[in-house]
Structure 1
């Protein structure tokens, strides 16, 4: 059997660290209890695990407090909690054509209902948004500006810090829109300080750079937006059970229902294992350097293969995510050939990003996306390049 080569890390990290699986198995077999649903020791310990995870996440994104972190079933759920919980009828939103459908679809839904208006700012041929153009779209009724940190189609990293700083300087006081950032591709990979970038709301899954299992995610909400976030899911929270009203305190207001404590325990173990005894910021600097080196090699090798067209290459490559096409071979067919004949797993299609492909000039059926992880070896990249050379030579 051909050895498996997994190059779809932008979808989810594989393999998950053994410490994650061991922590989940051990907890499920010996300690499992519903968090916040009992006064007995193990239920209280489950709650303590959750607060430890909040503190850990807060350190990774330079948040002021663990009380700014709510936990969700994924990045999509967290983004929906932010968008649907913050926006009100009559609001205006500014976003970009580079966004994932986890942002575009809820905004499209609200606009289709007549609840909000929205402006989608175009991006250049690499998928990058120009901050001046983005900020010029902000109006007096703009209540949110939503920009992803990095794209999942080609790894383009947006100028988040410049956007957040200028948004704060140019729109002070009550007229400042909330700045929402989707960090699905960068949490746990690249340094990102919510305070330095003046981010009000930031969402990410736990199963990519965070090393957690699927079905985990978080929403950071700065203290200044807590009073404006409304629950979007209603049910038990383990407290104030005599009241039919949802608690309004963040983060519990957005956490109705039982949490997946075994998964959260595994996520906590993964984050702690990644940085061992070093500060999260120090680990992220090392991770960023490793990924940048992988990205540069990936693009350099792909450039040297005749017959391959790279889609939307960033000027400064920071993440090892590349989209490509080969004339005469559909992206889905190319992915199938790599899988069945070479054991290489990559993704094909539009990658849940509806609007960016026009700017990138992708084929109608989308692109073949290669996304490496920090553990991707030189040998795996060599086998990918050899496979693509063989395919293009026989085309």
Structure 2
């Protein structure tokens, strides 16, 4: 099998990830729930991961790195913790449902939401952020890179806009954490929401949010914390404020090992490899008859994603043929990005996404392009 669905979850993981998870399963107690060796070993590993993530994202302090199950939970925590009835939020048409649905719920609860529109090529005009600004605008929530097209948002421009108007910038880094540089201070980002199982190469069930020094979130959930047990309310110290209940210590151990692997491999090297394969694939399919590729490939910086359609063929049928005839794993359909599919005009057809990772090869990339060529010739 040629696995080209790394935007959904990277596969395989570095061997050290599984080794760390197994060691944690056999040796960890519950982090923050005791002072015996097993609990302290878990706590030290969790804190070690916080420190590495704080460095990775330019977060002010490790204790402001709060763990969650995934980006979706982190984004829900950020959006519900920051905004409420009467608040106005700006987002974009490029967003995943992990951003859209919390914003739609906010709107149903009395908040207001506007979206910077995407054009037929999936591009946005940054001047529209200013046009959508209102007196009650409180923040911007947007993706770093589209999970559908791979197009990257200009964080400096959005951050400058937020700083100029005293808005909180919430970034969905699901597709970019570990592959594109993020600096919360330099880019005026208030909250970074990330997942561990994509380009951080960690296990599923890990992720979190990095909270800026001047940002205060209402707790998303409340419950056991291991501290201040007689208090009727959730402790307000970070990270406890956002981490009710037992953490996924075993998963965080795997994520911690993945961060070590990523630091050793070098984020720039990983990005160069992944993006080189994506551009190689794009170069081989872009002019095939009947093939439509989505996104701006003239941009210097992109996520390693190439999404296409073959004529008017249903994307699920194309993806099934790629798997059953050519043993190539891709992702068809709507990709949880309904507004961007509407902008591209692909609501009914969907699209087939090829996404590349560090363990893919040039030979696999060329074989995938040859499979697309075969299908295109059969149209």
Same fold per TM (> 0.5)?
yes
**2:378 pairs with 1:390:** no
Question: Which of the numbers 182, 188, 191 marks the counterpart of 1:198?
Answer: 188
CA deviation after TM superposition for structure 1 residue 363, in Å: 5.1
User: Secondary structure of 1:348's match?
Assistant: coil
The match for 1:335 is: 319
Q: Is the CA contact 1:309–1:324 (under 8 Å) kept in the aligned structure 2?
A: yes
CA deviation after TM superposition for structure 1 residue 328, in Å: 4.0
Q: Is the CA contact 1:311–1:362 (under 8 Å) kept in the aligned structure 2?
A: no
TM-score by length of 1: 0.92
CA deviation after TM superposition for structure 1 residue 221, in Å: 0.7
2:123 & 2:375 partners in 1: Cα distance?
31
The match for 2:275 is: 292
**2:160 pairs with 1:165:** yes
Q: Is the CA contact 1:147–1:160 (under 8 Å) kept in the aligned structure 2?
A: no
The match for 2:343 is: 359
Moved more, 322-331 or 213-222: 322-331
Moved more, 58-67 or 93-102: 58-67
2:94 & 2:65 partners in 1: Cα distance?
25
CA deviation after TM superposition for structure 1 residue 145, in Å: 0.7
Question: Which of the numbers 159, 166, 170 marks the counterpart of 1:180?
Answer: 170
User: Secondary structure of 1:224's match?
Assistant: coil
The match for 2:244 is: 256
CA deviation after TM superposition for structure 1 residue 121, in Å: 1.3
User: Secondary structure of 1:263's match?
Assistant: helix
**2:233 pairs with 1:232:** no
Q: Is the CA contact 1:135–1:167 (under 8 Å) kept in the aligned structure 2?
A: no
Q: Is the CA contact 1:191–1:288 (under 8 Å) kept in the aligned structure 2?
A: no
1:294 & 1:223 partners in 2: Cα distance?
38
Once the two structures are superposed, residues 110-131 of structure 1 have per-residue CA deviations (whole angstroms, 9 ceiling, x without a partner) of 21232x0111110233323222
The match for 1:93 is: 89
2:113 & 2:326 partners in 1: Cα distance?
45
1:363 & 1:203 partners in 2: Cα distance?
27
Once the two structures are superposed, residues 311-342 of structure 1 have per-residue CA deviations (whole angstroms, 9 ceiling, x without a partner) of 23443152221111112421000111111111
Aligned residue-pair number: 378
The match for 2:360 is: 376
Q: Is the CA contact 2:84–2:106 (under 8 Å) kept in the aligned structure 1?
A: no
Q: Is the CA contact 1:312–1:360 (under 8 Å) kept in the aligned structure 2?
A: no
**2:262 pairs with 1:274:** yes
**2:229 pairs with 1:241:** yes
CA deviation after TM superposition for structure 1 residue 166, in Å: 3.1
Q: Which blocks of at least 5 consecutive residues in structure 2 are unaligned?
A: none
User: Secondary structure of 1:223's match?
Assistant: coil
| Distance 1:363-1:310 versus aligned 2 partners, 3 A rule | farther
Q: Is the CA contact 1:93–1:146 (under 8 Å) kept in the aligned structure 2?
A: yes
The match for 1:320 is: 304
| Distance 1:241-1:75 versus aligned 2 partners, 3 A rule | same
User: Secondary structure of 2:339's match?
Assistant: coil
CA deviation after TM superposition for structure 1 residue 294, in Å: 2.1
The match for 1:42 is: 38
2:212 & 2:291 partners in 1: Cα distance?
44
CA deviation after TM superposition for structure 1 residue 88, in Å: 2.2
CA deviation after TM superposition for structure 1 residue 27, in Å: 1.8
User: Secondary structure of 2:322's match?
Assistant: helix
CA RMSD of aligned residues (A): 1.4
1:368 & 1:289 partners in 2: Cα distance?
23
CA deviation after TM superposition for structure 1 residue 103, in Å: 0.6
The match for 1:18 is: 15
2:202 & 2:89 partners in 1: Cα distance?
31
The match for 1:220 is: 210
